[in-house]
A = this chain, B = another copy of it.
Amino acid sequence: MPYPYHKITEEDMAHLIRAVSRDRVCIGDEIPTEYYHDEMPEYGCYQPDIYIEAISKEEISAVMAYAYEHNIPVTARGAGTGLAGGATCRYGGIMLSLMRMNHIEDADTQNLTITAESGALLTDVADKAAAAGLFYPPDPGERTASIGGTVITNAGGMRAVRYGVTRDYVRCVEAVLPDGSIVEFSSNVAKNTTGYDIKDLIIGSEGTLCIVTKVTLRLIPAPNSTRTLVMTFSSIKPCIETVPKLLQTPYVPTAIEFLERELTDIVDRRLNKPFPVQEGSDFLIVMYDGSSVDEVDAACEMACEIAMEMNAIDVKICDSPERIGSVWSARAAILEGMKADSDAQEECDVVVPRARIADFVRAAQDIGRKYKIRVIVCGHAGDGNIHTEMLRNNLSDEEWKSNTRSCLKELYAKSKELGGQLSGEHGIGSGRLEFLEDFVGSRMYQLYQSVKLAFDDRLILNPGKIIEYK
């Protein structure tokens, strides 16, 4: 326990219920078990003492002020779709759901922005932008994520190659600080050098510094043409080596995803989602979009030439919505397919310099073999964010636990050696916490702790995530 937190009493419960409303509060066993964990229950299941669904920043402010005064831990939660064990009450206390705060304003077509409360779903925000002819590019696999959750975890996704990650679209964040203060970081402006850039520090801070209540996001004109190519190779080497070549043309791809046959087979077998390409062992899915058909055609033509020079077996150009849909729906089903194929999984989310992707992929396969873990490499090859999926095979509980841990340690060491990072888009949460200090070094870790204290001097916000006080 990092801190002698106050254990919630009947009196606290009564006060908190008065601050909100009894019909938006669950206590003890009333709390559905789905709120004990996120999409990776492997990273921890913890029962909150009290679960509160807030409907306004003022309510959140009141809850925080009380928690601050009484030393009660608080964990904010969106849709619970995280993959790092982030939105879990590791030290009990209050779970504060933002899912009822889901209002989305109409897109601002003058400023090219959209403003939404944290609990709005990413998919609804993107749809509302699209209805105004505008485009919200960030596209992490999970579109039922809350928009606030995507900001607080700096969600990445497929389209980061061309468009960047969530951070690149956040104009303004409204938040509640641990002491209950309501603040705004930046405003609806395109540039800002007014004081420290707290907004960017908040983005990706996984609910440990403040609670995000509303965000204003930058939109861009919608591209009006898109194509998806599937490049098929007979081995991994030319497949991965094609990636930097695609990035060196004047046409920036929207996405470059790497998949092995083993993974497409799992998705086909378990979820009946056949991958529309039958030959070959290694695939790149490459997407281009742009403001004109000509531009996208020229990009595709150049990409095809590169693939052929790299000895691709074939390149399929998908331009019908159905065909494009079948490719991306197979890609999107990977996590679900793996869950169906193995009773336990672990995942490594490193990011490496794009030039080192092939080195990492080779090393990951060797490390997996060494620890008898079925390792499948896939992910966002275009931005160096490689997901190394680990499936249990026939390992005993003990072997699985010990071997995945050793395997992860080696994978992280390899990433560091190649100039990479511990996590590219899923974050630290609880799941990667034990590896962080080693990875970033003790001075940097100490800096993280100082930053945490600058916001949360009583350590009550989402304790036991990102950093730990021993």
Contact = CB atoms under 8 A, between A and B. Distances in A.
Interface stretch (A95-103, A183-191, A310-318, A334-342): A183-191
Interface string A174-211: 00010001010011111111111110110111000000
A153 interface: yes
A423 interface: yes
Interface centre among A183, A196, A353, A454 (most CB of B within 10 A): A196
A111 B196 CA distance: 29
A153 to B, nearest CB: 7
A193 B247 contact: no
A221 interface: yes
Interface string A145-174: 000000001101000110011011000000
Interface string A406-448: 0000000000000111111111100000001001110111011
A419 to B, nearest CB: 5
A354 B110 contact: yes
A194 B454 contact: no
A222 B156 CA distance: 25
A226 interface: no
A66 interface: no
Given A221-B252, A291-B251, A191 B351 contact: yes
Nearest to A248: B109
Interface stretch (A28-36, A292-300, A325-333): A292-300
B428 A193 contact: yes
Contacts of A247: 112
Interface residues of A, number: 88
A448 B421 CA distance: 28
Nearest to A355: B110
Given A251-B291, A252-B221, A422 B188 contact: no
A5 interface: no
Nearest to A189: B351
A249 interface: yes
A466 B196 contact: yes
A383 interface: yes
A59 interface: no
Interface string A281-322: 000000000011011001000000000000000000000000
Given A156-B193, A191-B424, A447-B454, 8 more contacts: A153-B193, A189-B352, A194-B422, A196-B452, A200-B200, A223-B250, A291-B295, A294-B294
16 contacts: A110-B353, A112-B354, A167-B197, A190-B354, A190-B384, A191-B383, A191-B385, A193-B425, A193-B427, A197-B204, A200-B203, A220-B252, A221-B251, A292-B295, A292-B298, A454-B454
Interface of A: 108-112, 153-154, 156, 160-161, 164-165, 167-168, 177, 181, 183, 186-198, 200-201, 203-205, 220-224, 244, 247-252, 291-292, 294-295, 298, 351-355, 380, 383-385, 419-428, 436, 439-441, 443-445, 447-448, 450-455, 466-467
